[in-house]
Amino acid sequence: MSDLSDDELLDALGVDVTPAKVESHTPREERMRAGFEDILRFYKSHGHAPQHGEAHDIFERLYAVRLDRLRGLPEARQLLGTMDVHNLLAPAEGAEPSPVEALDDEALLARLGVSAHDDADITVLKHVSSYEERRAAEEVADRTPCKDFPRFQPLFAKVESDLKTGLRRTLPFRKEGANILEGDFFILAGQLVYVVEVGESIKTSIGRNDARLRVVYINGTESNLLRRSLQRALYKDETGRRVTPEPDPGPVFSEIWEEDDIESGTIYVLRSLSHHPFIAEHRELVHKIGVTGGKVETRIANAVHDATYLLADVEIVASYKLSGINRTKLENVFHRIFATAQLDLTIEDRFGNPVRPREWFLVPLPVIDEAVQRIRDGSITEVIYDPTSARLVASTAP
């Protein structure tokens, strides 16, 4: 065998010794390749192409938009064909081609509604809400009919009554002291909200403590949302309020004088002489209970022109002289005890406007007399009024 040069030997063996051509890419092409490499790494980790939708991680959504753009570029298949071992550049079945725009990550993020810091790496996004945070407002609105709502209706009615009489108040919902407990009432978007149950503590995806709530709304719906979701919704709602707990009525008679105290006063019970059919039929039960520091006769002198007195004359059927009275507390006690028997009646005032008079109750006079005696001896907090039996019964409240 004649001596062969190295090149001839390699050629005889079928080895191409032509120097490989070094490929050079434009900056745009380099970005396309780098972007597709990210997509390939995602596919390798997750076993599927990146997908759109708020339920997915922001990076997956970013890669999904990027892949759509690459599919729409005619030069992408030629440039990335040897890299596309999973055939990801093939158009998705039934998908509309996406408009081809710049493949800049910030532009893609802007399309997703996300801001990235100018100098930050794509893996360090700023102002990106977590999926839990984005779902917070949705959870509050995600309600279903409350099948056992009748058991909660009296509670809502009681709270509404307490708010009207001043027995309870509403406070702005603030971050400090924003804990939510079972039995709490709130006002969200103008609606009363009752926290029926607080589930066991759980950890969120970012390691925070949370709990699943059962929340019932005054409109007869309910939702099963996270405590932090309700907290966020209340805090962001400018009208969001916390309803104060039902207070202890406190001493009605006291040796310490307060601003609302009067040295002597009268609890009065009135009966309406109205000819309204309902009142006429239940005249022996319909009573107005009030407290005054002056003469009762003076207070009711203009009753026939006052919607508070049902635009009719009234008669005084009972009065009780007391001293050292906190008027507000005393009226609140009566309203609390007889809330379930409050008269629900609408009449027209002198100008034809509908009016719903308060402080009228469907309660027999002897029961009112018993309530006054219990106020005097301090046992009033131990009873509630049962409208079915028309008497005061032992309270089951703790």
Question: CA dist 51 to 35, 68, 130, Å?
Answer: 15, 10, 17
pLDDT of residue 9: 62
Spans in the chain with pLDDT lower than 70: 1-24, 55, 92-142, 175-178, 205-206, 246-264, 323-328, 396-398
Rounded distance, CA 308 to CA 348, Å?
11
pLDDT of residue 214: 92
- For 81-113, how does the pLDDT look when each residue is reduced to its tens digit (9 = 90+)? 888 888 888 876 655 544 444 445 555 555 554
pLDDT of residue 102: 44
Rounded distance, CA 72 to CA 96, Å?
10
pLDDT of residue 388: 86
Sequence-separated contacts (24+) of 40-44 with Cβ below 8 Å? 40/83, 40/86, 40/88, 43/86, 43/88
Q: What is the pTM of this model?
A: 0.38
DSSP-assigned letter for residue 340 = G
User: From edge to edge, which strands make up the β-sheet containing 360-362?
Assistant: 314-326, 261-272, 286-292, 360-362
Rounded distance, CA 30 to CA 15, Å?
31
pLDDT of residue 113: 47
Rounded distance, CA 277 to CA 281, Å?
6
Contact 291, 266 (CB under 8 A): yes
DSSP-assigned letter for residue 136 = H
- The stretches of 103-166 forming alpha helices (DSSP H) are 105-111, 131-141, 153-165
